[in-house]
């Protein structure tokens, strides 16, 4: 059985990063009530640094948690030419954990539908999502864990703002459109730089995405570069942006469907506001 808890002779820096990632993951799980007693969690493992890190940390937390929950690793083999199909099954077997390898030729579909030179990310993502939901139902899991981290969430926020005119990101916990699946992102509080450092030391058998020649979504790449520049010139800016996503003042934005600007009048106190003030006064008297 493979022991991926610690590398041989780990450095103090590695131990510090590992402790930080475990702490942040545990905090996110508790804060958003991501995992509960008796849950069956399907961890989607693509073969990238993020999903390997997610699986490893969840397995660590599973041993320490005051609740019982199951972990099932899942990989989607999209039949990309040259994809090393034995790496992940052997890895999961070495860990001694339950796993499911799903074979689905999305590669051919994407190549057929998307013109040469165009980004394949959107269609590939939609096809993947449908297969993941179907697999979750077949395995009778009630939570689907994805490896998106804090930087992914902030990048998505700007992508939607710049190209979709929406204040929308990736939520740490989400009920899917079909209402049948709960998606969780336990790495939501973790920074990419820490995951990179951790994964490099752990020496995971990383599998690159070659479906589009390792072509990253071009707009996301621009956003990533912008945020990297901001964080280099103003350290902590990405963390502050994530904090802003978690601290919304609806009355200081401009969405009339979420805040009733039309009924806003001077010195007018709504019934709910008046009741809330009375309750606060009663609590203060106690």
**What are the structural domain ranges in the chain?**
12-250, 256-285
Give the model's pLDDT for residue 214. 41
Q: Are 216 and 18 in contact (CB under 8 A)?
A: no
Give the model's pLDDT for residue 269. 58
pTM: 0.87
Give the model's pLDDT for residue 178. 82
CA distance linking residue 183 with residue 196, whole number of Å? 23
Residues 6+ apart with CB under 8 A from 155: 220, 223, 224, 227
CA distance linking residue 37 with residue 196, whole number of Å? 31
Give the model's pLDDT for residue 186. 99
C-alpha torsion sign, points 38, 44, 122, 161: positive
Residue 44 phi, psi (nearest 5): -80, 120
Residue 41 has, within 13 A of its CA and on its CB side, a CA count of 27
Are β-strands 173-175 and 182-184 bridged in parallel, bridged antiparallel, or unpaired?
antiparallel
Give the model's pLDDT for residue 276. 61
Low-confidence residues in the chain, pLDDT < 70: 1-6, 117-120, 209-216, 267-286
CA distance linking residue 104 with residue 133, whole number of Å? 14
120-149 per-residue burial string, b: 16 or more CB within 10 A, e: under 16: bbeebeebbbebbbebbeeeebbbbbbbbb
Which pair of structure tokens corresponds to residue 182? 């709960």
Of 23, 88, 33, give the one whose Cα is nearest residue 57: 23
Enumerate the H helices of 36-169 as residue ranges: 49-64, 87-95, 106-113, 121-139, 150-164
Give the model's pLDDT for residue 1. 47
Give the model's pLDDT for residue 37. 98
C-alpha torsion sign, points 240, 24, 122, 204: positive
CA dihedral 239, 146, 144, 136 (to 10 degrees): 160
Q: Which CATH class is domain 12-250?
A: alpha beta
């Amino acid at each position: 059985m493979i022991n991926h808890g610690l590398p041989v002779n780990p450095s103090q820096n590695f131990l510090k990063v590992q402790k930080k990632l475990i702490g942040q993951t545990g905090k996110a799980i508790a804060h958003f009530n991501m995992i509960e007693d008796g849950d069956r969690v399907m961890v989607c493992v693509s073969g990238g640094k993020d999903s390997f890190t997610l699986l490893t940390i969840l397995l660590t937390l599973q041993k320490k948690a005051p609740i019982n929950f199951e972990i099932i690793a899942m990989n989607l083999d999209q039949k990309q030419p040259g994809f090393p199909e034995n790496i992940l099954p052997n890895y999961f077997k070495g860990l001694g954990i339950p796993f499911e390898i799903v074979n689905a030729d999305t590669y051919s579909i994407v190549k057929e539908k998307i013109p040469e030179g165009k980004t394949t990310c959107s269609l590939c993502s939609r096809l993947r999502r449908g297969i993941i939901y179907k697999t979750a139902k077949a395995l009778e899991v009630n939570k689907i864990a994805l490896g998106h981290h804090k930087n992914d969430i902030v990048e998505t926020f700007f992508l939607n703002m710049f190209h979709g005119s929406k204040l929308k990101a990736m939520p740490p916990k989400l009920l899917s459109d079909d209402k049948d699946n709960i998606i969780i992102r336990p790495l939501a509080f973790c920074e990419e730089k820490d995951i990179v450092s951790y994964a490099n030391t752990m020496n995971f058998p990383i599998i690159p995405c070659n479906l589009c020649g390792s072509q990253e979504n071009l707009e996301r790449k621009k956003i990533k570069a912008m945020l990297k520049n901001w964080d280099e010139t103003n350290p902590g800016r990405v963390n502050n942006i994530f904090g802003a996503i978690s601290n919304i003042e609806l009355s200081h934005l401009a969405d009339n469907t979420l805040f009733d600007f039309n009924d806003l009048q001077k010195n007018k106190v709504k019934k709910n506001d008046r009741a809330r003030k009375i309750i606060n006064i009663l609590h203060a008297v106690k």
